[in-house]
Structure 1
Amino acid sequence: MPCRDETRQQVRTGEGFCRWVKELKQATEMGGDTAEGVKYCDEHVRSLNRGGKTVCSSTVFPAKYHGLLQEILHSCHPSERPRQEHRHKVEKDVIFAILVKRSNEQRQKIKAVYEASAGQSLDKALQSALHSHLEDLSLALISTPAHFDAYLFRKATKGLGTGEHILVEILATRTNQEIRDIKRVYKEVYKTELEEVIKSETSGDFTTALLAMLKANKDESTEVDNDLTKRDAEILFEAGEKTKGTNVSSFIDILTTRSAPQLCKTFQQYAAISDITLPKALQLELKGDIEDCLIDIVKCSWNTSAFFAEKLHHAMKGLGTNEDTLIRVLVSRSEVDLKKIVQEYKAMYGLSLQEAIRRDTKEHFERALLALCGPE
């Protein structure tokens, strides 16, 4: 058993991680039967919790790890559970009870610990243990944000048709650094540049708008330039309503490079010089994918939480349920602003998001999604 100082150094530097994982496995298997095992597990808990990030709008927070490895090994390999346990009834709930209550950073450590202890990747273990939407949800949870977004891009651009709304959703709601990370991961995993994929799968002004967002050079400051607000509003008015035809490039340039606070002020200024709102003007002036794209950018800039609340509402509206949308939004926003989205959903539709999920989903999938949403 390493001393406490040695353990702390390994946590900080990653040195000797494989040996440390083996010792961790031994410690968790002690189940707290010896003082030394408990002390070592407690040190591991503290070291992992130090790396977690707590965000006030998040619904997922770092959790403690005592006994975690034992639980996830058993849940993915029910044959390892004692005979008296009702293994088939509990394994799925155990898996998701572990995954949804940990931050993404912690899930990455779980993956490393699991692989070192079980001799196979956690991805493959979950694919064997789960199916359909539960499998999709579990794999989304254990992916890094950049890998999950890269996968969503790949899925949206492969096969028949293109999921244009997904491409816009990701690029319009991620930070510049997150977009750069997506591009890097996409190239690493799929061996091609994301720009080339967009060029081959989309066309016209829509392609231009996506490539503009993919440059990741949007102003991210919170300061508002009032002079720029007036100039931009005039440019947009001139490019649309006041001109025969539409100068789409002006809309793309302004909407893809200005900060959200700056755009909000621009929308207000536009309403002061026009008889209609900017979204209405876009609907009148444009058609097809570019219309939907620019309107979505406007919605995201004005109120990102309301944008996602609307996405979730449409996923459960009418007959059938779009489980892919539920997974995509709830997982990607769980450590960003899901708490605000839950509040916005209730304000917009007079029904809690949790109640809507209960009505449209069931069993393990329902419970996992509700856990992501947090308490009502």
Structure 2
Amino acid sequence: MAFFQKLIKKFTNDKTSDDQTGKEPSKGKAQPYFGTIHPDPNFNASRDAAALQKAIETKGVDENAITEILARRTNAQRQEIKAAYQKDTGKDLPKALKSALRSSYEDVVLALLMTPAQFDAHELRNAMKGLGTKEKTLCEILGTRSNQEIRLIKAAFKEAYGEELEHDMKGDTTGQFETALLNLCKASRSEDPNIDDGLAKSDAKALFEAGEKKLGTVSSVFIDILTSRSEAQLCKIFKQYEKIGTQGLNTVVEDELHGSLEECLMTLVKAAWNKPAYFAEQLHLAMKGAGTNCNTLSRIIVSRSEKDLQKIKQEYKRMYGKTLQEAILAETKGDYEKVLLLLCGEN
């Protein structure tokens, strides 16, 4: 959290940011790409499908060939490979790979063959099934996806599991944490890039009165504001809060809220300030200490590889003094290590 406290202080003291926040990106200009995976210019779905069939049927399985193909193709190209494999062999590629592979490497390979929405739905389902609930996974996915992405996730969840995402969520979460997640599931959060200064001031005052100023905390106020305002608007609220509160809003959320609700709302706070830094922190935590949380490590690298993994790598180096590649090399091995490094753009 120390990095975010420094980042927030720098942000709130940056007078020039007021001039830039809320402006729409220049129309007509191509948006920069910060992913690590690029389309194969010589792509041929049937050729890749045939190579994968050979790799799967080879005695002992040729994991290197599988990695070289799937980790060097975009998600759209992988979907074409899946379709070509089904057409040419009459078999389902994910099922064929599942029967041939094992452990964390298998999980990454199967994740690569899902669409982004299918993968997020799969991760949400896994976070809620069985004994216990992986609250951090629910917060990470629902707290960092756009409205359109959440709508696609809900559709994929319904198609794959025959139930509404909200139905499963109500069965596995309770109280105000449930309320916050269900608010995010509505996929109605503002995405307006323009800033409303008046609203930011009134929201900052409402948060102050619901937390610092009051004995006890009115959590519903924090939930309503943090789950409904755009990321740009939240940043303005944080700056306004600095003018009336005795401490930063991030510290207030940590002090006034607890448990899963705190985790959920802090995800929204961190993602609004610097989403790549948020993911860098989650990757660091997944590899920190004894053992490695391969599920989190795989999910973030796969899901961000065509979005902002380049930025995440930059933030990781800035925050922890070593590259993400170095961290992966220290924590993983074998085919699992290789597929993660390729997805990170390390050839």
Distance in 2, Cα, partners of 1:189 & 1:292:
28
Give 1:203's aligned residue: 174
Q: Residue 56 of structure 1: which of 10, 30, 33 is its match?
A: 33
Q: Residue 98 of structure 2: which of 127, 146, 154 is its match?
A: 127
Give 2:48's aligned residue: 68
Give 2:118's aligned residue: 147
- Structure 2 counterparts to residues 170-319 of structure 1, below 5 A: 170-319=141-290
Bigger mean CA offset, 255-264 vs 59-68: 59-68
- Structure 2 counterparts to residues 24-173 of structure 1, below 5 A: 56-63=33-40, 64-66=42-44, 67-78=47-58, 88=60, 91-173=62-144
Distance in 2, Cα, partners of 1:300 & 1:194:
23
Distance in 2, Cα, partners of 1:178 & 1:194:
14
Contact preservation (8 Å) 1:331, 1:372 = yes
- Is 1:333 aligned to 2:311, yes or no? no
Shift of 1:183: 1.0
Bigger mean CA offset, 238-247 vs 324-333: 238-247
Distance in 2, Cα, partners of 1:206 & 1:218:
17
Q: Which amino acid aligns with 1:325?
A: T
Distance in 1, Cα, partners of 2:43 & 2:242:
53
Q: CA RMSD in A?
A: 1.6
Shift of 1:54: 9.4
Give 1:38's aligned residue: none
Shift of 1:300: 1.0
Distance in 2, Cα, partners of 1:126 & 1:55:
34
Question: Which fold has the larger relative contact order, with Cα–Cα distance below 8 Å and residues 6 or more apart in sequence?
Answer: 2
Shift of 1:68: 2.2
The alignment of Structure 1 onto Structure 2 pairs a total of residues equal to: 315
Q: Which amino acid aligns with 1:56?
A: Y
Q: Which amino acid aligns with 1:58?
A: G
Distance in 1, Cα, partners of 2:181 & 2:48:
42
Larger Rg: 1
Q: Which amino acid aligns with 1:248?
A: S
Contact preservation (8 Å) 1:55, 1:336 = no
1:331 alignment partner, SS class: helix
Shift of 1:210: 0.4
Q: Which amino acid aligns with 1:126?
A: L
Unaligned residue ranges in structure 2 (runs of 5+): 1-29
- Structure 2 counterparts to residues 348-359 of structure 1, below 5 A: 348-359=319-330
- Is 1:366 aligned to 2:337, yes or no? yes
Give 2:294's aligned residue: 323
Unaligned residue ranges in structure 1 (runs of 5+): 1-52, 80-87
Q: Tell me the TM-score normalised to structure 1 length.
A: 0.81
Q: Which amino acid aligns with 1:160?
A: L
Contact preservation (8 Å) 1:111, 1:121 = yes
Fraction of identical pairs, as percent: 51
Give 2:15's aligned residue: none
2:110 alignment partner, SS class: helix
Contact preservation (8 Å) 2:143, 2:264 = no
Q: Which amino acid aligns with 2:35?
A: S
1:308 alignment partner, SS class: helix
Q: Residue 314 of structure 2: which of 343, 366, 376 is its match?
A: 343
Shift of 1:184: 1.2
Shift of 1:221: 2.2
Contact preservation (8 Å) 2:71, 2:343 = yes
Contact preservation (8 Å) 1:54, 1:62 = no
Contact preservation (8 Å) 1:54, 1:61 = no
Distance in 2, Cα, partners of 1:171 & 1:55:
24
